[in-house]
Amino acid sequence: MATDAVVVKKRSAGRRLAGLFYGRPRLQIGSLLAAPMAWLVILYMGSLVVLLITAFWTVNPLSGSVIKEFSLVNFEELVNVPVYREIIWRTVRTAALVTVTDALIAFPIAFYMAKVAGRKTKAALVVAVLMPLWASYLVKVIAWRAMLAEHGVINWALAPLGLHGPEGGVTAVWLTMSYLWLPYMILPVFAGLERIPDSLISASEDLGAHPLTTFRRVILPLSFPAVVAGSIFTFSLTLGDYIAPKLVSNEQFIGTSIFDSITNNQPFAAAFALVPIVVVIAYLGVARKLGAFEHV
C-alpha cells in the first residue's frame, strides 16, 4: 500500500492527465474536436448563416449605410432585373459548356492512361497531368490573357488562316476555364477507368463485341459516375470564379458581379453569393442521383 502511494505521487502531470482520459472515449473525442469544431462551426458555418441573414438586409441609397431589417428587395432585384437574370444564365451556361468540353477532352487521355499505356508511360502521364495543377492559378489565367491578347499567340497563329481569335467575350472565358479545370476532370475519370476490371473488357471482347460496342456497352456506363464526379469540380469552380472573367473578358459573370457590388452594397453581394450555393447544391443533388458519390 505504502509503495503504491509513493508511485502515485511520482506520476508526472502528463501521466495524470493521460490517466484522466483513460477509459473516457467521449472526453477524448471532445478534447480532440473542441478547437477545430469551434473554428469550423462557429466561425465558418456562423459566417455562412450571417451571409444568409445579410442577404435580407438592404442599403440606404443615400447614406450607403446598411439597414438591418428583413426585406426581400435583393432577391426581387435578382429575379426581376433582366441584366442579373442574364448574368446568372450566362454563368450557368458557361459552367455547363466548360464541363462538357472538359469531359470530352479528358476522356481520351484518361482512357489511354488507364487502359492502353504501359506502366512507365502511365506514371509519366499522371505526373504530366498533375504538374499544371501545381502551377499558380493566377499565372495560368495571365498566360491565357497573354495568349488571347490582340498581339498574342492565338491571333498570330490564326492570322495566316485569315481568322481572328475570340476577344473579351464568353468564348475567351470558356477557353480559359476549360483549361484551368481540365486536370480536375482528367484525374477522377482516370481513377474511374482504372477501377474497371480488365476481365470485364476481355469478356466483352471474347464474346465477339466490336471495340466500339465494348466501349459503348461496358466502359462508358461504368465510368460515367467518375465523369459526373469530375464535373462537380469543373461546374462549381466555373460558377464561382471571377478572376478569369475579369482578366480575359469584359462580360459580367456571377463572380464579377459579386465582386463589383461588395464595396457599395454588401447585402446585395450576399444575396448574389447565395446563387452559386443554391446552384451547386442542386447540382450535387443531381450528381448523387447519377452515382457520383458511390466511388469517391
Partner 1 sequence: MRLSKQAKIVLRCCVGLVLAFVYIPLLVIAVEAFNSSKILKWPPPGFTFSWFGKAFESESAREALITSIEAGVVAMLIAIILGTLISLAVGRRKFFGRETISFLVVLPIALPGIVTGVALSNTFTQVLGIPLSLMTVIIGHATFCIVVVYNNVVARLRRTSGSFEEASADLGADTWQTFRWVTWPSLRSALGAGALLAFALSFDEIIVTTFTIGAGEETLPIWIFRNLFRPKELPIVPAVAVILIILSIIPVYLAHRLSTDDGGLTPGRGAAARSTAAPAAIAEAEATAAH
Q: Which residues inside 12-31 make contact with partner 1, applying CB under 8 A?
A: 14-15, 18, 21-22, 25-26, 28-29
In the DSSP assignment, the letter for residue 66 is E
Quick one: which segment of 2-10, 79-87, 126-134, 162-170 binds partner 1 (CB under 8 A)? 126-134
- Of the two residues 115 and 170, which places its CB atom closer to partner 1 in the complex? 115
Q: Least distance from C-beta 14 to partner 1, angstroms?
A: 5
Angle at alpha carbon of residue 167, lines to 162 and 173, rounded to 5°: 125
Quick one: which segment of 1-9, 74-82, 143-151, 166-174 binds partner 1 (CB under 8 A)? 143-151
Q: State which of residues 73, 90, 96, 142 lies at the interface with partner 1 (CB under 8 A).
A: 142
- Of the two residues 133 and 170, which places its CB atom closer to partner 1 in the complex? 133
One-letter amino acid for residue 253 of the chain? F
- Of the two residues 73 and 296, which places its CB atom closer to partner 1 in the complex? 296
Decide: residue 197, CB within 10 A, 0-12 exposed, 13-18 middle, 19+ buried.
exposed
Strand partners of residue 66: 59
Q: Least distance from C-beta 72 to partner 1, angstroms?
A: 19
Q: Scanning residues 186 to 245, which ones bind partner 1 (CB under 8 A)? A: 187-188, 190-192, 194-195, 198, 201, 205, 211, 214, 226, 229-230, 232-233, 236-237, 239-243
Q: Scanning residues 104 to 123, which ones bind partner 1 (CB under 8 A)? A: 105-106, 108-109, 111-113, 115-116, 119, 122-123
Contact 88, 96 (CB under 8 A): no
Q: Least distance from C-beta 18 to partner 1, angstroms?
A: 4
Q: State which of residues 1, 5, 6, 43 lies at the interface with partner 1 (CB under 8 A).
A: 43
CA distance 285 to 260: 30
- Of the two residues 67 and 83, which places its CB atom closer to partner 1 in the complex? 67
CA distance 244 to 5: 70
Q: Scanning residues 60 to 89, which ones bind partner 1 (CB under 8 A)? A: 66
CA distance 139 to 173: 15
- Of the two residues 69 and 198, which places its CB atom closer to partner 1 in the complex? 198
- Of the two residues 70 and 134, which places its CB atom closer to partner 1 in the complex? 134
Q: State which of residues 59, 78, 92, 147 lies at the interface with partner 1 (CB under 8 A).
A: 147
Taking alpha carbons only, the member of 296, 287, 101, 89 closest to residue 181 is 101
CA distance 296 to 223: 12
CA distances from 149 to 146, 166, 190, 246 (A): 5, 9, 34, 14
Quick one: which segment of 1-9, 75-83, 161-169, 257-265 binds partner 1 (CB under 8 A)? 257-265
**Strand intervals (E) in the chain:** 58-59, 66-67
CA distance 74 to 56: 7
CA distances from 263 to 159, 178, 184 (A): 42, 30, 32
